[in-house]
Amino acid sequence: MLLIRLSLRNLLRQKRRNILLGSAMAIGVAILVTANSFSHGISDIMFNKIMRYVTGHVAVRFNERGGVMREIFRDKERVLAAIKNEPVIEEADESIGMFARAIGNGRSDNIVLVGIDTKKGISKKALKEMEASFRLVEGQWKDVENASIENPVIISEEKARYLNVKKNDIVRVRFRNMFGQDQAARLTVAGITRNDNIFMQAVTFLELARAKELLGYRPYETGSLSLTIKDPQKNAFALAGRIHERLKPGAAVIYASAAGRAGRNPVMLLGYKSDNEAKKKISGILKLTAGSFEKAFKKDGVIVPSGLARTLGVSAGDAINIRYDRKFEKTPKEASYHISAVCSATGYPDENVILMNDSGFYDLYYEDLPAGPGPEVKPYSAARGAWDGLVAPEWILLKRTFNTEEYKRKYQEISRNKWKGTTIDVSTMYETASDILKLESVLNIITISAVLILFFIILLGVVNTLRMTIRERTREIGTMRAIGMQRADVRNMFILETFFLTLFSAVIGIITGFIVMRLLSLINFQPQDNPLGMLLVNRHLYFLPTFPGIAGSVLLIIAIAVVTAWFPARRGANLPPAKALRYFG
């Protein structure tokens, strides 16, 4: 405590010098805090105010037939069960959207129709964030639910101005639905929003149920899911891993009955993989008794075991009728196929299994999802041995990735493989946009580098000031040593003076930084379709100071100052008392 009191007293003795030096250090801290808060603000905007609405904190994406634009899963209940009972999930939204060509009053332009579910309710926090990004200037969000209006939509102010439309006007749109069919519709402008992000100005909001209807979704089907969760930085990767584990697929099986000339018999339809490697393996396993593999491996190829063919009274080239109960429809599904090949029982998966090319099989399977096995039907047991990996799964679960590069390679693989089944990908916004984290890191590195250069210049002043102080107080050092103060105490006293000077300067710098951020955030910018407008919130600069960031900056500066002060303080402490007392400055 004595050393602390002496250090504080000495700081007050040299007010002018310490005020000048402390002011320079405070300016450096203020710049560092402001710059770090701005880079954190940019990251927060990109993640929580842009990426959150585009992908969610965690996303479960579906691509039927590997089509990137065909985001559909045929069994909504099944996928919702995978995210059920997860307390960290705050909201689960369907990502329903489509590109469309809009025709207004004498003008046309591209828009993105996005479905929003206003009926389920929204938290005050989410509503506040939504209103900060999409500020209504006319109408209300609830207007998109109005059944008396023909397809009510909320459009951006910029898009409404370009299309020359206002509230209650009609906008005609042309688009392609989920299944590649060209469609047209009339939309009514029910509200207008203002948005500073140029990339979001093309977004036009439509009630979710209407958007799904326009795109061709049935009530039990869903688009990709966007999950908003608590503390995403902590929970996102763990949650994605759990959901991924629950979505592991089984074999795709259709429990049906097949009819030929001799009658009808219970069967199981399985798809077999039709890539070149799988075809080679299958042709080596099965023994043909009729037909050919050339026909069997085509899209409409059907393979029947010889025992079942005899029971049904059919052979290669004959037609069979398939009938099965559908999971979501009351009436059964019926389809007719021609047998491409008949094989012996040797090596065949099961005596009542009909094999179909996976391309044709998935057409049947996804269009009308089959019901499960009846009470008297033995469920299919996954094929092992030679058939392991050759039977078509319910879907293809893509492997987890953990950064943007891996994520890009995964989707390039989808394009190359042209999978016949639906692919499911579970990802977090941190891997789909890890480049944003790199951007924040680069900004922080640039900021810290610039400020450290400034501080090294300032700390040269600390060293020179400390040397001058030691020279002026040489006789004082000799006196303290003569009355019994140890070298370490003298050294520590000077180090403590530097420590307290840096600490007080840092506190003043933090306060100054907050004042500067407040003043800068009051400036109202007019982006005027400038892409940099996406970095603004309500047309103002956005700063996000964080305790770890501020504390880290202060500790870094104090550490540099103390290390810098160590050497002149040690030199002063090593002066012999007699020599110090004889010194005349």
- What is the rounded CA–CA span in Å between residue 570 and residue 574? 6
Collect all residues with Cβ–Cβ distance below 8 Å to 420 and sequence separation of at least 6.
65, 66, 271, 274, 358, 359, 362, 392
Mean pLDDT, the chain, whole residue set: 83
pLDDT in tens, 124-171: 666 666 666 678 888 888 889 888 999 999 999 889 999 999 999 999
Averaging pLDDT over each range in 75-79, 410-414, 437-441, 467-471, which range is the top one? 75-79
pLDDT for 316 beyond 90: yes
Q: Which residue(s) pair with 79 in the sheet?
A: none
% of the chain at pLDDT higher than 70? 82
**What is the pTM assigned to this prediction?**
0.74
Give the start-to-end residue ranges of the domains of the chain: 2-50+435-581, 56-96+219-249+395-432, 98-216, 253-394
pLDDT for 309 beyond 90: yes
Backbone φ, ψ for residue 523 (5° rounding): -70, 130
Collect all residues with Cβ–Cβ distance below 8 Å to 223 and sequence separation of at least 6.
62, 71, 72, 73, 94, 95, 96, 97, 115, 212, 217
Higher pLDDT among residues 344 and 384, named by residue: 344
Averaging pLDDT over each range in 200-204, 276-280, 551-555, which range is the top one? 276-280
Q: How far is CA 108 from the centre of its chain?
A: 32
Mean of pLDDT values over 291-310: 92
pLDDT for 458 beyond 70: no
pLDDT for 468 beyond 80: no
What pLDDT is recorded for position 261? 92
Lowest mean per-residue pLDDT among 81-85, 182-186, 403-407, 411-415: 411-415
Q: How confident is the model at residue 584 (pLDDT cuts 50, 70, 90)?
A: low
Higher pLDDT among residues 582 and 285, named by residue: 285
What pLDDT is recorded for position 435? 60
pLDDT for 121 beyond 90: no
What pLDDT is recorded for position 27? 84
- What is the rounded CA–CA span in Å between residue 97 and residue 61? 13
Q: How confident is the model at residue 89 (pLDDT cuts 50, 70, 90)?
A: very high
pLDDT for 531 beyond 60: no
Q: How many CB atoms lie within 10 A of CB 201?
A: 21
Q: What is the DSSP string of 368-395?
A: SPBP---TTSPPPPPP-GGGTTTBPBSS
pLDDT for 192 beyond 90: yes
Comparing CA positions, the residue from 512, 511, 519, 501 lying closest to residue 557 is 501
pLDDT in tens, 399-454: 998 877 788 787 777 667 677 889 999 998 887 666 666 666 666 677 667 666 76
Collect all residues with Cβ–Cβ distance below 8 Å to 483 and sequence separation of at least 6.
none
Collect all residues with Cβ–Cβ distance below 8 Å to 134 and sequence separation of at least 6.
154, 193, 194, 195, 200, 205
Higher pLDDT among residues 539 and 299, named by residue: 299
Which contiguous run of DSSP H or E holds residue 112? strand 108-116
Q: How confident is the model at residue 116 (pLDDT cuts 50, 70, 90)?
A: confident
- What is the rounded CA–CA span in Å between residue 519 and residue 522? 5
Comparing CA positions, the residue from 342, 414, 333 lying closest to residue 371 is 333
Q: How confident is the model at residue 260 (pLDDT cuts 50, 70, 90)?
A: very high
pLDDT in tens, 13-33: 777 777 877 887 888 888 888
Comparing CA positions, the residue from 270, 284, 390, 302 lying closest to residue 347 is 284
- What is the rounded CA–CA span in Å between residue 196 and residue 581? 70
Q: What's the N-to-C CA distance of the chain in angstroms? A: 30
What pLDDT is recorded for position 413? 75
pLDDT for 579 beyond 90: no
Lowest mean per-residue pLDDT among 79-93, 339-353, 520-534: 520-534
User: Are the CB atoms for 370 and 255 separated by under 8 Å?
Assistant: yes
Q: How many CB atoms lie within 10 A of CB 434?
A: 18
pLDDT for 520 beyond 80: yes
For residue 341, give the 3-state DSSP assignment: strand
pLDDT for 230 beyond 60: yes
